Chain A
Amino acid sequence: EAGVAQSPRYKIIEKRQSVAFWCNPISGHATLYWYQQILGQGPKLLIQFQNNGVVDDSQLPKDRFSAERLKGVDSTLKIQPAKLEDSAVYLCASSHGRQNPGPGIYEQYFGPGTRLTVT
Protein backbone atom coordinates (compact mmCIF):
# COMPACT_ATOMS: atom_id res chain seq x y z
CA GLU A 1 0.00 0.00 0.00
CA ALA A 2 1.12 3.56 -0.61
CA GLY A 3 2.53 5.40 2.38
CA VAL A 4 1.71 8.81 3.82
CA ALA A 5 2.38 11.51 1.24
CA GLN A 6 3.47 15.04 2.10
CA SER A 7 4.29 18.10 0.05
CA PRO A 8 6.30 20.14 -0.36
CA ARG A 9 9.41 18.40 0.99
CA TYR A 10 11.25 21.66 1.58
CA LYS A 11 10.14 25.25 2.03
CA ILE A 12 12.05 28.44 2.77
CA ILE A 13 10.13 31.58 3.68
CA GLU A 14 10.76 34.86 5.40
CA LYS A 15 9.33 35.61 8.82
CA ARG A 16 5.80 37.01 8.79
CA GLN A 17 5.01 35.19 5.54
CA SER A 18 2.45 32.40 5.39
CA VAL A 19 2.97 28.77 4.38
CA ALA A 20 0.85 25.68 3.91
CA PHE A 21 1.68 21.99 4.04
CA TRP A 22 -0.35 19.15 2.57
CA CYS A 23 -0.74 15.57 3.73
CA ASN A 24 -2.48 12.58 2.20
CA PRO A 25 -2.75 9.69 4.66
CA ILE A 26 -2.74 5.98 3.94
CA SER A 27 -6.00 4.98 2.29
CA GLY A 28 -8.64 4.01 4.83
CA HIS A 29 -6.88 5.52 7.83
CA ALA A 30 -9.39 7.50 9.84
CA THR A 31 -6.90 9.21 12.14
CA LEU A 32 -4.43 11.85 10.99
CA TYR A 33 -1.76 13.57 13.07
CA TRP A 34 0.48 16.58 12.54
CA TYR A 35 3.74 16.68 14.51
CA GLN A 36 6.40 19.38 14.72
CA GLN A 37 10.02 18.22 15.06
CA ILE A 38 12.50 20.92 15.99
CA LEU A 39 16.15 20.13 15.33
CA GLY A 40 17.59 18.04 18.15
CA GLN A 41 14.20 17.16 19.63
CA GLY A 42 11.62 14.45 19.27
CA PRO A 43 8.37 15.12 17.42
CA LYS A 44 5.64 16.98 19.30
CA LEU A 45 1.96 16.61 18.41
CA LEU A 46 0.26 19.71 17.04
CA ILE A 47 -3.16 18.31 16.15
CA GLN A 48 -4.99 15.01 15.78
CA PHE A 49 -8.02 14.41 13.57
CA GLN A 50 -10.46 11.53 13.70
CA ASN A 51 -12.13 11.54 10.27
CA ASN A 52 -12.82 15.27 9.81
CA GLY A 53 -13.16 16.14 13.50
CA VAL A 54 -10.46 17.46 15.82
CA VAL A 55 -9.59 15.09 18.66
CA ASP A 56 -6.62 16.88 20.21
CA ASP A 57 -5.28 20.35 19.41
CA SER A 58 -4.12 21.30 22.88
CA GLN A 59 -0.54 22.01 21.74
CA LEU A 60 -1.43 23.89 18.56
CA PRO A 61 -0.48 27.61 18.67
CA LYS A 62 -3.88 28.70 17.49
CA ASP A 63 -2.94 32.35 17.04
CA ARG A 64 -0.81 31.42 14.03
CA PHE A 65 -1.36 27.75 13.19
CA SER A 66 -4.48 26.24 11.65
CA ALA A 67 -5.30 22.86 10.19
CA GLU A 68 -8.22 21.31 8.42
CA ARG A 69 -9.32 17.94 7.13
CA LEU A 70 -12.54 18.84 5.37
CA LYS A 71 -13.48 15.54 3.72
CA GLY A 72 -11.86 13.26 6.24
CA VAL A 73 -9.04 12.30 3.92
CA ASP A 74 -6.21 14.71 3.15
CA SER A 75 -5.25 17.59 5.39
CA THR A 76 -3.62 21.01 5.24
CA LEU A 77 -1.58 22.68 7.98
CA LYS A 78 -1.08 26.44 7.71
CA ILE A 79 1.16 28.90 9.50
CA GLN A 80 0.34 32.60 9.28
CA PRO A 81 2.41 34.59 10.07
CA ALA A 82 5.54 32.48 10.44
CA LYS A 83 8.17 33.14 13.11
CA LEU A 84 11.81 32.15 13.20
CA GLU A 85 11.05 29.53 15.88
CA ASP A 86 8.69 27.74 13.49
CA SER A 87 11.71 26.38 11.61
CA ALA A 88 11.28 22.64 11.95
CA VAL A 89 10.25 19.48 10.17
CA TYR A 90 6.49 19.02 10.01
CA LEU A 91 5.53 15.37 10.04
CA CYS A 92 2.18 13.93 9.12
CA ALA A 93 1.14 10.49 10.36
CA SER A 94 -1.93 8.34 10.00
CA SER A 95 -3.42 5.43 11.86
CA HIS A 96 -6.33 3.05 11.67
CA GLY A 97 -8.14 1.97 14.78
CA ARG A 98 -10.59 -0.54 16.06
CA GLN A 99 -12.88 -0.07 13.09
CA ASN A 100 -10.26 -1.76 10.91
CA PRO A 101 -8.60 -4.40 13.07
CA GLY A 102 -5.60 -6.30 11.83
CA PRO A 103 -1.89 -5.77 11.46
CA GLY A 104 -0.87 -2.24 12.18
CA ILE A 105 -3.74 -1.42 14.49
CA TYR A 106 -2.82 1.29 16.98
CA GLU A 107 0.31 2.22 15.04
CA GLN A 108 1.18 5.57 13.54
CA TYR A 109 2.69 5.60 10.06
CA PHE A 110 4.74 8.68 9.25
CA GLY A 111 5.30 10.55 6.03
CA PRO A 112 8.71 11.93 4.95
CA GLY A 113 8.01 15.36 6.42
CA THR A 114 8.29 18.94 5.21
CA ARG A 115 11.39 20.83 6.28
CA LEU A 116 10.52 24.49 6.88
CA THR A 117 13.18 27.16 7.20
CA VAL A 118 12.05 30.61 8.30
CA THR A 119 14.61 33.38 7.68
Chain B
Amino acid sequence: AQSVTQPDIHITVSEGASLELRCNYSYGATPYLFWYVQSPGQGLQLLLKYFSGDTLVQGIKGFEAEFKRSQSSFNLRKPSVHWSDAAEYFCAVGARRGSTLGRLYFGRGTQLTVWP
Protein backbone atom coordinates (compact mmCIF):
# COMPACT_ATOMS: atom_id res chain seq x y z
CA ALA B 1 0.00 0.00 0.00
CA GLN B 2 1.16 3.50 -0.75
CA SER B 3 1.89 5.68 2.25
CA VAL B 4 4.05 8.51 3.49
CA THR B 5 5.28 8.85 7.05
CA GLN B 6 6.42 12.11 8.55
CA PRO B 7 7.41 11.06 12.07
CA ASP B 8 7.74 14.57 13.49
CA ILE B 9 4.45 16.39 14.04
CA HIS B 10 6.08 19.54 15.34
CA ILE B 11 9.67 20.82 15.18
CA THR B 12 11.04 23.97 16.79
CA VAL B 13 14.36 25.49 15.74
CA SER B 14 16.13 28.77 16.34
CA GLU B 15 16.59 31.20 13.49
CA GLY B 16 19.89 30.50 11.77
CA ALA B 17 19.99 26.86 12.87
CA SER B 18 19.99 23.98 10.43
CA LEU B 19 16.85 22.00 9.71
CA GLU B 20 16.05 18.45 8.66
CA LEU B 21 12.50 17.20 8.18
CA ARG B 22 12.09 13.46 7.83
CA CYS B 23 10.00 11.61 5.29
CA ASN B 24 9.69 7.88 4.64
CA TYR B 25 7.52 6.41 1.93
CA SER B 26 6.09 3.11 0.84
CA TYR B 27 5.28 2.89 -2.85
CA GLY B 28 5.11 -0.01 -5.26
CA ALA B 29 6.08 1.78 -8.45
CA THR B 30 8.94 4.13 -9.24
CA PRO B 31 8.12 7.04 -6.97
CA TYR B 32 7.90 10.68 -7.84
CA LEU B 33 8.66 12.54 -4.58
CA PHE B 34 7.67 16.04 -3.58
CA TRP B 35 7.94 18.47 -0.70
CA TYR B 36 5.27 21.15 -0.32
CA VAL B 37 4.96 24.03 2.14
CA GLN B 38 1.68 25.43 3.41
CA SER B 39 1.32 28.72 5.27
CA PRO B 40 -1.86 29.44 7.28
CA GLY B 41 -4.83 30.00 5.01
CA GLN B 42 -2.80 29.28 1.91
CA GLY B 43 -2.64 26.47 -0.59
CA LEU B 44 0.34 24.21 -1.07
CA GLN B 45 3.50 25.55 -2.67
CA LEU B 46 5.96 23.15 -4.27
CA LEU B 47 9.45 23.36 -2.75
CA LEU B 48 11.14 20.65 -4.78
CA LYS B 49 10.64 17.34 -6.51
CA TYR B 50 12.54 14.18 -7.40
CA PHE B 51 11.80 12.05 -10.43
CA SER B 52 15.14 10.48 -11.33
CA GLY B 53 18.83 11.22 -11.70
CA ASP B 54 20.90 13.03 -9.08
CA THR B 55 19.57 11.99 -5.69
CA LEU B 56 20.27 15.40 -4.14
CA VAL B 57 17.79 17.93 -5.44
CA GLN B 58 17.72 21.65 -4.93
CA GLY B 59 14.53 23.60 -4.48
CA ILE B 60 13.29 27.09 -3.84
CA LYS B 61 13.99 29.16 -0.74
CA GLY B 62 17.33 27.41 -0.13
CA PHE B 63 15.83 23.97 0.55
CA GLU B 64 17.30 20.68 -0.63
CA ALA B 65 16.31 17.04 -0.28
CA GLU B 66 18.09 13.75 -0.67
CA PHE B 67 16.49 10.61 -2.06
CA LYS B 68 17.78 7.42 -0.48
CA ARG B 69 16.21 4.41 -2.14
CA SER B 70 17.70 1.90 0.32
CA GLN B 71 16.04 3.72 3.20
CA SER B 72 12.86 4.74 1.34
CA SER B 73 13.50 8.25 2.54
CA PHE B 74 13.34 11.74 1.10
CA ASN B 75 14.43 14.10 3.87
CA LEU B 76 14.23 17.87 3.49
CA ARG B 77 17.09 20.06 4.68
CA LYS B 78 18.03 23.70 4.99
CA PRO B 79 21.37 24.89 6.34
CA SER B 80 20.10 28.09 7.96
CA VAL B 81 16.44 28.64 8.80
CA HIS B 82 14.77 32.04 8.52
CA TRP B 83 11.77 33.18 10.57
CA SER B 84 9.71 33.24 7.37
CA ASP B 85 10.19 29.47 7.01
CA ALA B 86 7.70 28.86 9.82
CA ALA B 87 4.90 26.87 8.18
CA GLU B 88 3.66 23.33 7.70
CA TYR B 89 5.63 21.02 5.45
CA PHE B 90 4.21 18.06 3.58
CA CYS B 91 6.01 15.21 1.90
CA ALA B 92 4.16 13.48 -0.93
CA VAL B 93 4.66 10.54 -3.27
CA GLY B 94 3.02 9.79 -6.60
CA ALA B 95 3.61 8.30 -10.00
CA ARG B 96 2.90 8.97 -13.61
CA ARG B 97 -0.51 7.86 -14.79
CA GLY B 98 -0.57 7.76 -18.55
CA SER B 99 0.56 11.12 -19.85
CA THR B 100 0.06 12.97 -16.59
CA LEU B 101 0.71 12.73 -12.85
CA GLY B 102 -1.59 10.51 -10.80
CA ARG B 103 -2.80 11.05 -7.28
CA LEU B 104 -0.36 12.23 -4.64
CA TYR B 105 -0.21 10.50 -1.27
CA PHE B 106 0.64 12.99 1.45
CA GLY B 107 2.13 12.62 4.89
CA ARG B 108 0.32 14.24 7.80
CA GLY B 109 2.72 17.17 7.79
CA THR B 110 5.37 18.64 10.08
CA GLN B 111 4.67 22.00 11.70
CA LEU B 112 7.83 24.13 11.87
CA THR B 113 8.17 26.84 14.50
CA VAL B 114 11.13 29.22 14.29
CA TRP B 115 12.35 31.02 17.40
CA PRO B 116 13.90 34.46 16.84
Residue A108 CB within 8 A of the other chain: yes
Q: Known contacts A106-B32, A107-B46, A112-B42; decide if A43 and B100 are in contact (CB<8 Å).
A: no
User: Does A40 count as interface, using CB distance less than 8 angstroms?
Assistant: yes
Task: List residues of chain B with CB within 8 A of the CB of A91.
Answer: 43-44
Q: Whose C-beta in chain A lies nearest to the C-beta of B106?
A: A42
Interface SS, B side? strand
Interface residue tally of chain A, by bracket?
A: 20 to 34
Interface residues of B, CB < 8 Å — how many? 27
Contacts of B42 in A (CB 8 A): 112-113
Least CB separation from B100: chain A residue: A97
Interface of A is mostly: loop
Residue A56, interface by CB 8 Å: yes
A42 and B102 in contact (CB under 8 A), knowing A91-B43, A106-B51, A113-B43?
no
Give the residue among B45, B96, B102, B108 with the most A Cβ atoms within 10 A.
B102
Taken residue by residue from 76 to 116, chain B's Cβ proximity to chain A (1 for < 8 Å, 0 otherwise) reads as: 00000000000000101000111111111011110000000
**In the complex, B4 has a CB within 8 A of chain A:** yes
Q: Please give, as numbers and ranges, the residues of chain B lying within 8 Å of A40 by CB-CB distance.
A: 108-109
Q: Which residues of A contact B99 (CB under 8 A)?
A: 97-99
Q: Tell me the B40-71 residues at the A interface (CB within 8 Å).
A: 41-46, 49, 51
Are B49 and A107 in contact, CB atoms less than 8 angstroms apart?
A: yes
A48-72 contacts to B, CB under 8 A, are 48, 50, 55-56
